[in-house]
Amino acid sequence: MKTGIIAVVLLYQILVIVIIGIIVKNKEKKEGSHGEASFALAGRNMGPVVLPITMAFTVLGTAHILGVFEMTFNMGAIAIWFSLAHTVLLIVACVGTGRWVRRMGITTVPEALVGMYGKGVSIAVACVMAGNIWGILTLETQGIGIVISTMTGWDIAKGALVGGVLGVFYVVIAGMKEVGLINVVNAVIKYVALILAVLFVALKLPGQNFDTIQTYYQAEPSQHFMLSVFGNADLFITFAIGNIIAVTFCQGINQMLMQVCMAARDEKTIKNALWIAAPVNGMFGVFAVTLGLTAKALPAYSAVGAKMAVTTMLVDMLPTWLSAGLLAAFVAAILSAFSMTCLTPATIFAVDIYKDLFNKNASEKQVSNVIRIGIVILVALAIAIAAFLPPILGAINWLFAWLVPVFWIFVLGLFWKRSTKVAGLTLAVSWILNVLWSFSPLPKAIGGLIGTLPNAYITLLSALVILIVGNLAVKGEPGYFKTMDARKLA
C-alpha cells in the first residue's frame, strides 16, 4: 500500500476537517458566538450525540490500538481490561467528576482548585497537568507515526509529521465544536472499517471463521487462559485491577476528559452520555483483541513479534481498499485523542497562565488566539520529540501517576475537608515519590512485591495516607460543596 492509498486517506481526512471547520465557523458567525467559551468549550452546548462520542474517543488513542494489539499478543483476551478500565473511567467522569466540573462553570481543572485551595496549589497543578498532557501528546504523535509507517512503508518521522499537521487542523479552525462533529463523522468510519477488517480476516482463515484460532489455544492447556477475558488470577490482579486504578484516578480529573464535560449542555446530558460513551469506547477493544489473538495463533505473524504481528497480518490479509479504510479508521481514532491532547494544555496555558498571571483584561478573542498559537507550538515540539521514540507503555505509566493525587485532593476537597497546607504537602510528596520511583534505585532497594508496583499505586498510596491523616490532624475548611456558595451552584 503506497502513495495512492495514503493520498486517498489524507484527502478524506482533510476534506472532513475543512468542510466541518467551515460549517462550524459560518454557523458561529451567524449566531455571533465567538471567543474562549465557544472555541475551547463549544459554547457549553454539546448535546446528547456529540458529547458521548467525543468523550469516548478523547480517551481512545494509540494505546487502545497498538498497545492492545501488543498486550493481547503477550497476555491474551484479558487485554480487553485496558478498554474496560476506560469504561470505569467514563463511569466516574459521567456520574462524578465530569458533572462536578460542569456544575462549577469553570474552563480548566486548575481554575476549580483556585476556589478550593488558593492560587499556589492551582498554578502547581496547572503546570504539571499541562506538561502531563503534552507528554501524552508526544506519545500520540509517535503512535500516529507508527500506524502510518507500518501501513504505508513511510518512515516514522514522516508519518508523525503528516499526522501532526492533520491533528492541528482537526482542532485549530473552530476548536471543540469542530472536534466533536469530526468525531461523530469518523466514529462511523472507525467501526465500519473495524467490523469489515475482522470479517475479512475471518474469511481468510480455514472454515472462514475463528474456530481454528480457538482450537489453537484450546489444544495447549497452558494457553487456555488466553481465550478468557478474566485471564488467570495473577493477571487479573496485576493487569486488570492495576489498569482500572491507574486509568480511573489519573484520567478521572485530567483536563482532557474534563474539558469535554465542561462543554456539555448540562449535567443531565453528561450523566446520560454514559450509556453511549461506555460501549462505544469499550467495544473497540473487542476488535483489537480478536485481531491480536488471531495474529499470535498464525505462525507466519507470530514470528514477527508482538509489536508488528497484527499490522503485518492486516496489510497481508486485507484487500487494498479495506487496508486504506482501516488506516483511515486508525488515523481518525488517534487524531481524536491527539486533538484533545493539544487543545487542553493550550487551554490551561491560555486561561491559567496567560490570562490569570499576565493579562487579566484579555478579551475572549485574545485568549482564543493564544490557545491557537499554543496548539501549533505544542504539536511542533511533540513532532520533534516523537522522532526519538520514547517507550509508549513505560512513559504512560509514569505520566498517569502524576495526576492521582490531584484526583484525590479534588474529590475529598469537594465533599469532605479542605486544607491548602495538606493539599500542597500531598502533591509535593507524591510527585517527588513518582520521580524517585522511575529514576532512582528506590524500587529495587525496597524489592519484593512493593518494589514491582507501578507508579500509580505509589502516588495513590502516598496521596491517600497524607490526605486522610493530614485532614484529620488539621482544622481545615469544610468540603467545597458543603459551603453556601456551592449550594447555590447546585
Partner 1 sequence: MFITLFIHTFVIIMVMVAVGQAIASIAERKHKQEVK
What kind and span of H or E run contains 408? helix 404-415
Q: Which is nearer to partner 1, 121 or 258 (CB)?
A: 258
Q: Interacting stretch for partner 1, rule CB under 8 A, among 39-47, 168-176, 285-293, 301-309?
A: 285-293
Binding positions for partner 1, 58-77, rule CB under 8 A: 77
Enumerate residues 171-200 that contact partner 1 by CB under 8 A: 198
C-alpha cell at position 367: 485568549
C-beta of 82 vs 154, nearer to partner 1 = 82
Q: Are 7 and 339 in contact (CB under 8 A)?
A: no
Q: Per CB under 8 A, which region of 89-97, 126-134, 170-178, 184-192 contacts partner 1? A: 89-97
Q: Burial letters for 133-171: b for 16+ Cβ neighbours within 10 Å, e otherwise?
A: bbbbbbbbbbbbbbbbbbbbebebbebbbbbbebbbbbb
- From CA 330, how far away is CA 328, in angstroms rounded? 6
Q: Is 318 in the site for partner 1 (CB under 8 A)?
A: no
Of 42, 60, 75, 293, the one binding partner 1 by CB under 8 A: 293
Supply the minimum distance, in Å, between the C-beta of residue 213 and partner 1.
Answer: 6
Q: Is 119 in the site for partner 1 (CB under 8 A)?
A: no
Concatenate the DSSP letters of all residues of 119-167 into one string. Answer: HHHHHHHHHHHHHHHHHHHHHHHHHHHHHHHHHH---HHHHHHHHHHHH
**Which CB, 275 or 321, lies closer to partner 1?**
275
Task: Indicate whether 401 belongs to the interface with partner 1 (CB under 8 A).
Answer: no
Of 85-93, 175-183, 381-389, 431-439, which segment contacts partner 1 by CB under 8 A?
Answer: 85-93
- CB of 294 within 8 A of CB of 203? no
Residue 14 corresponds to which cell in the numbers above? 482533510
Distance from the Cα of residue 209 to its chain's centroid: 33
Task: Indicate whether 128 belongs to the interface with partner 1 (CB under 8 A).
Answer: no
What is the CA 248 to chain-centroid distance, rounded? 11
Residue 176 CB coordination number (10 Å) = 29
Q: Does 426 bind partner 1 (CB under 8 A)?
A: no
Contact between 279 and partner 1 by CB under 8 A: the answer reads yes
One character per residue 224-263, x = contact with partner 1 (rule: CB under 8 A): ---x-x----------------------------------
Dihedral sign for Cα atoms in the order 275, 281, 285, 287: positive
* Binding interface with partner 1 (CB under 8 A): 77, 80, 83-84, 87-88, 91-92, 94-96, 198, 202, 210-211, 213-214, 227, 229, 271, 274-275, 278-279, 282-283, 285-286, 289-290, 293, 415, 481-482, 487, 490
